[in-house]
Structures are given as structure tokens and as C-alpha cells.
Amino acid sequence: MRFNSYEFLLFFAAVLALASWCRGRTRHVLLLFASYAFYASWNAPFLVLLLFSTVLDFHSGRGVARATSPWRRRAWLAATLVGNLGPLAYFKYGNFFFENVAFVSGIDPAPFYLDLVIPLGISFYTFQSMSYTLDCWRGETQVCERFLDFALYVTFFPHLIAGPILRASEFLPQLRRREAVREDEMLRGIELFLLGLFKKVVIADNLALLVDRVFGHPGGYDGAAVLVSTWAFWAQIYCDFSGYSTMAQGLASMLGFTLPRNFDYPQLRHNPILYRRSWHITMGNWFTDYVYRPLGGSRVGDARFAFNIFVTWLLLGLWHGAAWNFVLWGAYNGVILAVYSVVMRRKRWSLPAFPGKLFLGWLINVGLLLLSSVFFRARSAADAGLMLKKILLWEPGRSVEAAWWGVMALLLAVHALSFWHYREDLLQRLRWPGRVLLVTATVVAVACFGAAGRPFIYFQF
């Protein structure tokens, strides 16, 4: 069930109605079984992996916290690392490993090829479940004594498939709540869900019409077409992924829970660091806490500082997919962030203030990020190289409709206006006639202009 499907709306309506009649542990049991049913609707056998990760980290967290000797603590930590990363590596990276070994050695990879389907959301729930044990290891969270609570933390269906990635310290305390959902929470939830749905089906899925056309056959298009389609993809993936995260926040709010914000207007940021801190925030925080800081973080010399940033982003690129274009995307971003961070760390001067300084920074940042989007979306590293060549050399070829440039400029203007004026409490500030009008207008826009049937981009990760 996708959030943008009629089946899910019926499912959620039933869960919301039942949850409004339940309190305490009964409500938690209901939400847990609803979450398992939601996941099973995609592929029921993969529930075994979800349960395995849940049981493993529930006991590993307790084992780490209660171990009486260092070697026992290390044994529990090793169990959670192997038990979580092993299945992830097998399902997501097994064929990538065999293909590259075969390429280097000249061996035919066909006999070793794994006929696998990647379990939906495995990259997200694995990292979330594992973070609990890692936090117990570092003494940064309390041990969860109830398996029911921990299982709901891992499997809570609004964020299960594509985040936001929660920490136990963010979610588990919310399970102590006993009061009913308030009106302001319900209104905020409806507003966020409709906003996310609009971003997904009206904006992202319609932009995909241009993106799929050009990225599917990049050799036939000119540099301008490749550039505007790359810009369209940048907007598409933002609206698609932030749309999912916003819908997840809305669904959770209607059920009385708070999820962290995952995006904070990244496309309007004027330097690479601010951009990365505001894009997929929870994943960035995960890699910062469990990869970058254990490597030494910023408490080292410049060369090691740059190395730590680069390695973190290389792994983050690999997390996105088992393909060399994702590795190149991570390496590209790692180089940009490493160079910028070292320069800002050691700078002895800065540009004097002048009108348009921030705009110039934003323009440069946008140019760098658009180039990185080519690596992310291209079907292969070869296609990425071809598209970059077309953009940089402005090569001839077929063009696309000029109206797409106007569409992109309009979307950017609306996004900027939203950044300056919009707050996520609009329904609460309106009276009932205004609320009905706004909700009706959004539903009509989705019904009339929404492109149905497209899965969320990050479901493949």
C-alpha cells in the first residue's frame, strides 16, 4: 500500500477509527499489528527479516547495557553489527559484489548471480533498529524493557518504508502518553498529509514525465534539454522524498505522535554544508553520529578531517544503491564538502559583504548540486559522463518544450515564497469555512492534476 493509493486511505481510516477508541497498551498493540499488516501488504515473507532485526536489537541493546565484562559488551555489539549489516549486504549488495569481481577477474558472473528482491525499507529499518543498540553501547539511551514498545518503535508504519529515521530516545518516551489526540494535532496532521500528497502526485510525478524521457535516452538531446531535465529531477526527488516524509509526519500527528522533520528547504541554502544539513536530516545525523564521529570527526588535522568527510559521503552514496553512479555521487559530494569545510576551517579572509553575496553563493551551490544530480539519476556511470559532457559543452541534439523552463522557474518562486511565509499550522489559524475550502481545493488539485501509479523514489533504497 502506497500513501498515494485508495487502499491506504481505507486502511488508515480504519486504523484511525480503532485507535480513537483504544488507550494505553491496547492502542500500542493495535498500532503494532497495523504496522505489520501494512508491511505484509508489500511482501509478507519479508516480515521475517523485520522481526529478526527487531528481536536481535531488542536483546542486543539489553545485553550491551547489562554486560558485566568488556568482552561481553563487544560480543553483543558484534552480534548486532553482523546480524543487521549481513542481510543488508546480502540482499542489496550481493550481485554488485559478484559483478565487480567478475569484471576484474574475467569470470562469467551468471552462475553466481543472486535472483533476489530487495526487501522494502530494509535500509531504513535496519539503521533505525541498529541505532538503538549503538546508543545503548554509548550510554545515550535507556534500555527498553518491553518488547512491544521496541517493536512499535521499529515498525511504526508511517515512517517504516522510507523514514524519517528515528532514535529510540525520540519515540519511546511518546509511548507513555495516555490522553487522546488533540484537535490541533489532528489539524496539523491533515495539513501535512495533504501537503505531502500534493508535492508527490501533482509536482514530483508530473516532473517525472520530462525526467524519464531525457534520462532514458540522454544521447539524443541537446545540452539545454539535459540541463532542464536535471533541474526537473532535482525538484522531483525533493518533492517525492520530502512529500513522503511530510505525509509520514502528518499520519503520525493524527495518531498522536511526533516525527522529526526530514527536510528544511535545502534547495534555498547558499553553501554545501547548509544544504546537506537540511536535506534528509535524519539520515545525515545517522551517518554523522555512527560513521563520521567514530572516524574522528573534526577533532583531527585537516587531512584527516577531509578524509573523514569523504569516507562518510562515499558510504552514504553506496547506501543509496549498489551501482557505481551512486558511489560517484557520494564521492563527488564528499570532495565538495571536504574542500569547502577545510577552507572554511582555515580561512584567513572572506569576501567582503556586498549586495547579492548570498545569491551568488546560492547560485554556485545550485550549479554544483545540479551536476551531482546527474550522477544520482543516470542509469549508469557512462550515461552520467555523457550527460555532463552535453551540459558543459552545450552539445546539439533534440530540444524539449520551452515551457519546461517556465514551469521550473515558477516552482522555484513558489518554493521561495513558502520559505518566507508558510508555517505548518495554516489549518489551525483558519476558521472552519477556510479549512473546508483549503482541504477541498487541495483534494481537487490532487484529483485533477495528480499522476497516479508511481512509487516513491526512495522505496528502492
- What is the spatial distance between Cα 238 and Cα 253, in angstroms, rounded to a whole number? 22
- Look-up: residue for cell 509478507? 44
Residue 182 parent element (H or E): none
Q: Can 28 be counted among the known catalytic residues?
A: no
- Cα separation of the two ends of the chain: 17
Compute the C-alpha angle 265/309/263, nearest 5°.
15
- What is the spatial distance between Cα 312 and Cα 104, in angstroms, rounded to a whole number? 25
Compute the C-alpha angle 211/198/384, nearest 5°.
20
- What is the spatial distance between Cα 158 and Cα 189, in angstroms, rounded to a whole number? 12
For residues 329 and 375, the answer to whether their CB atoms sit within 8 Å is yes
C-alpha cell at 297: 570527526
C-alpha cell at 381: 556511470
Q: 6 Cβ partners below 8 Å, 6+ apart?
A: none
Backbone angles phi, psi at 293, to 5 degrees: -70, -40
Nearest partner of 373 among 323, 313, 325, judged by Cα = 325
Q: 369 Cβ partners below 8 Å, 6+ apart?
A: 234, 275
SS3 293: helix
Backbone angles phi, psi at 150, to 5 degrees: -65, -40
Nearest partner of 204 among 460, 457, 461, judged by Cα = 457
Assign residue 322 a region: left if phi > 0, alpha if psi is -120 to 50, beta otherwise? beta
How buried is residue 58: exposed, middle or buried, by Cβ count under 10 Å (0-12/13-18/19+)?
buried
Q: 28, 270, 320, 421: which is the annotated catalytic residue? A: 320
Per-position DSSP letters for 184-248, written without gaps between them = HHHHHHHHHHHHHHIIIIIIIHHHHHHHHHHHHSGGGB-HHHHHHHHHHHHHHHHHHHHHHHHHH
Compute the C-alpha angle 218/219/221, nearest 5°.
70
Query: DSSP letter at 271?
Result: S
Q: What is the crossing angle of helices 47-66 and 147-155, to 10°?
A: 130
- Catalytic residues, by residue number, are 320
